[in-house]
Amino acid sequence: MKYLPLNPEIFVQNRKRFVERMEKNSIAIFNSNDESPTNGDQLHRFKQNSDLFWLTGIEQEDTMLILFPDNPDTKYREVLVLVRPNAIKEKWDGHRLRDHEGTAMSGIATIVWLDSLDAMLQGWLHLSDTIYLNSNENDRKANWVPVRDYRYAEMMKQHYPLHNFKRSARIMKDLRAIKTALEVEVMQKAIDITDITFRRVMQIIQPGIMEYEIEAEIYHSFLSQRATGPAYGSIIASGDRARTLHYVENSRECKDGELILMDFGAEYGNYCADLTRTVPVNGKFGRRQKTVYNACLHLHHYAASILKPGISIIDYTEKIGDEATVVFQKIGLLKKSDIKNEDPENRAYRKYLYHGISHHLGIDVHDLGTRTEPVKAGMVFTIEPGIYIEEEQIGVRIENNFWITRNGNKDLMKNIPITVEEIEAFMKK
């Protein structure tokens, strides 16, 4: 791993929170993700199962976690399962964790090698009544490949048909949505790396630069600061391409007079940052560009003023829609007749702001968390309003990351330049 060792207390606390939610005499089993092929004999870069990492801090493939808080043998109430190191395999693929290293990273004292697990696990399962198995229940999931979690669940049901089975995901969605202070420390590191990177990028942007050159600078800056890399595919969208929300081609020339929308964030310690800024290619906002940018910034600040414990995402989005309706009329995008005749299911402002304003952020850039229950203290959200005007070939989005506090929120990106004046002054350097 490129990043410095994380505090294992993060994962000790996370396991404690999960165990407190388990039924009496139950056992929970968590598996690694699969290693995914590209073509031929090549593999995609391995990405650990987010729930398993959240509980252990271990990135290595073929890792498992067994939680059995009522195990009569106290030594085996929490067990980290690792692949046994093999000297020949390590010559090809590199170092594999030793038991003391797994303990240092996870805070778990008992390490069991994967090739000796089956006999032990069978005995523990015979002592338990309920088995918690994991599944991917992120609401944004769009992958129906039968991944390891689902294959393992089918196997367990065949071998232990009379046990009660429960979904760990129901617990994980609640727990992972609420970040501990230790987790936010790691997120802040990812954000600070992203801050430095944004400032570096602003200094190289000028007419004629290619979008991919900016992307390359972002990647270089991330790696040079010990980030794993980007938390997601960086969006570097100049001119009219900024209206494409997930534009990742990043292949065009940035031209004089255009704005460039940049949506990127570092991943550090498997936690994500998610920043969006829109800046002028030539370093100076035009009059209309400044008007649209400031309108978007107004919506950003308004959203931050109402995102606090107790509000639902549905009500939050509706209130921002009301404010956007007023703002868009002021800057000439909507007429009174547009508002009067709007479809309640597809409001007039949606022509220019056609995405959600906030999402949960954490180990996944679109992290686990409910979108129907009220916002709670401890959650981390993005705030990212945008204005996209086809007739003017312009797209503006502004995004920061916020930690919800007892009475409001804390802007984790408060130090990153955001106003027209701050951006112009920095680019002028």
In contact, 403 and 417? CB cutoff 8 Å: no
Task: Show the beta-strand stretches assigned E in 76-119.
Answer: 78-82, 110-113
pLDDT at 255 over 90: yes
Q: Name the nearest CA neighbour of 307 among 402, 183, 192, 416.
A: 402
In the structure, what pLDDT confidence band is assigned to residue 1 with cuts at 50, 70 and 90?
confident
In angstroms, rounded to a whole number, what is the distance separating the alpha carbons of residues 291 and 183? 37
* pLDDT tens figures, 294-345: 999 999 999 999 999 999 999 999 999 999 999 999 999 999 999 999 999 9
User: E strands of 179-247, at which residues?
Assistant: 229-230, 235-238
Confidence tier at 138 by pLDDT (50, 70, 90): confident
For a pLDDT cut of 90, what percent of the chain falls above it?
94
What is the reported pLDDT for 268? 98
- At 324 the pLDDT is 98
Decide: 364 and 177 in contact? Cβ < 8 Å: no
pLDDT score of 141:
77
Span 136-144, average pLDDT:
80
Residue 104, both tokens? 């240092």
- Return the pLDDT at 197: 98
**CB under 8 Å to 422, separation ≥6 — which residues?**
none
Instruction: Provide the β-strand partners of residue 382.
Output: 401
Instruction: Give the model's pLDDT for residue 296.
Output: 98
Residue 140: pLDDT band with limits 50, 70, 90: confident
What is 314-357 written as a DSSP string?
Answer: HHHHHHHHHHHHHHHHHTTS--HHHHHT-BTTB-GGGGT--S-S
Confidence of residue 371 (pLDDT cuts 50, 70, 90): confident
**pLDDT for 126 beyond 90:** yes
Segment 236-261 shows an average pLDDT of 97
Classify residue 39 as exposed, middle or buried by CB count within 10 Å of its CB (0-12, 13-18, 19+).
exposed
Over range 239-259, report the average pLDDT.
97
pLDDT > 70 in the chain, percent = 100
Neighbouring C-alpha atoms within 13 Å toward the C-beta of 320:
32
Q: What is the average per-residue pLDDT within 74-101?
A: 95
Q: What are the domain boundaries of the chain?
A: 9-176, 181-428
Q: How confident is the model at residue 392 (pLDDT cuts 50, 70, 90)?
A: very high
| Mean pLDDT to the nearest integer, 189-208 | 98
Domain 9-176 has CATH 1.10.1200.10: no
| Average confidence (pLDDT) over 228-236 | 97
- Answer yes or no: is pLDDT of 424 > 90: yes
- Classify domain 181-428 at the CATH class level: alpha beta
What pLDDT is stored for residue 367 in this prediction? 96
Distance of CA 320 to the CA centre of its chain: 23
Q: How confident is the model at residue 142 (pLDDT cuts 50, 70, 90)?
A: confident
Q: Is the pLDDT of residue 118 over 80?
A: yes
143, pLDDT greater than 90: no
* Residue 283 confidence (pLDDT): 98
Whether residue 103 is predicted with pLDDT greater than 90 in this model: the reply is yes
Report how far apart the first and last C-alpha atoms of the chain are (Å, whole number).
35
The mean per-residue pLDDT over the stretch 226-231 comes to 97
Report the residue count for the chain: 429
406-426: average pLDDT: 97
**With 80 as the cut, is the pLDDT of residue 207 above it?**
yes
pTM, 2 dp? 0.96
Confidence of residue 145 (pLDDT cuts 50, 70, 90): confident
Average pLDDT, the chain: 96
The β-bridge partners of 381 are: 360, 402
- Tokens linked to 86: 């093999």
